[in-house]
Amino acid sequence: MSVAAQSKPAVKPVLRVNSPEPVAPFPRAARPAHVIRGDAEAIEIAHKLAADFAKDAALRDREALLPVEEIEAFSQSGLWGIRVPKQYGGAELSYVTVTEVFKIISAADPSLGQIPQNHFGVVEHTALDGDEDLKKQLFGGKNVGVLQTTFREEGKDVVINGTKFYSTGAILAHIVPVAVADGEGRPFIAFVDRNADGLEVINDWSSFGQRTTASGTVKLTEVRIPKSRLVPAHQAFARPTAAGPISQIIQAAIDAGIAKGTIADTIDFIRKHARPWLDSGQDKASEDHFTIAAIGDLEIKLHAAEAILERAARLTDAAIADPNEETVAEAAIAVAESKVLTTEVAILAANKLFELGGTRSTLAVHGLDRHWRNARTHTLHDPVRWKFFHVGNYYLNGVKPARHLWL
Q: How many separate domains does the chain show?
A: 3
Helix (H, G, I), strand (E, B) or coil at 67: coil
CB 118 within 8 A of CB 166: no
Helix (H) or strand (E) holding 291: helix 289-321
The dihedrals phi and psi of 293, each to the nearest 5 degrees, come to -65, -40
The domain of 83 spans 39-138
Is residue 85 assigned to a domain?
Answer: yes
pLDDT in the model for residue 140: 55
Q: In terms of domains, do 99 and 168 share one?
A: no
Distance of CA 245 to the CA centre of its chain: 14
CA atoms of 138 and 141, how far apart (whole Å)? 8
Q: In terms of domains, do 347 and 228 share one?
A: no
pLDDT, average across residues 371-392:
95
Q: In terms of domains, do 73 and 173 share one?
A: no
Helix (H) or strand (E) holding 200: strand 199-202
Which residues are CB-neighbours of 37 under 8 A, at least 6 positions away?
A: 91
Among 185, 200, 233, the domain-final residue is 233
Task: Indicate whether 11 pLDDT > 60.
Answer: no
Tell me what the pLDDT averaged over the chain comes to: 90
How many Cα atoms sit within 13 Å of 344 on the Cβ side? 20
Task: Indicate whether 133 pLDDT > 90.
Answer: no
Helices (H), 38-164: 39-55, 57-63, 68-76, 95-108, 110-114, 117-129, 132-138
pLDDT band, very low/low/confident/very high, at 97 (cuts 50, 70, 90): very high
pLDDT in the model for residue 288: 96
CA atoms of 261 and 361, how far apart (whole Å)? 15
CB 30 within 8 A of CB 77: no
Among 208, 233, 258, the domain-final residue is 233
Is residue 189 assigned to a domain?
Answer: yes
Is residue 328 assigned to a domain?
Answer: yes
Cross-strand pairs, 193: 175
Q: In terms of domains, do 245 and 389 share one?
A: yes
Is residue 264 assigned to a domain?
Answer: yes
pLDDT in the model for residue 21: 64
How many Cα atoms sit within 13 Å of 109 on the Cβ side? 28
Question: Rounded to a whole number, what is the distance in angstroms from the first to the last CA of the chain?
Answer: 32
CB 360 within 8 A of CB 353: no
pLDDT band, very low/low/confident/very high, at 20 (cuts 50, 70, 90): low
Does pTM top 0.85 for this prediction? Answer: yes
Which residues are CB-neighbours of 122 under 8 A, at least 6 positions away?
A: 144, 146, 177, 189
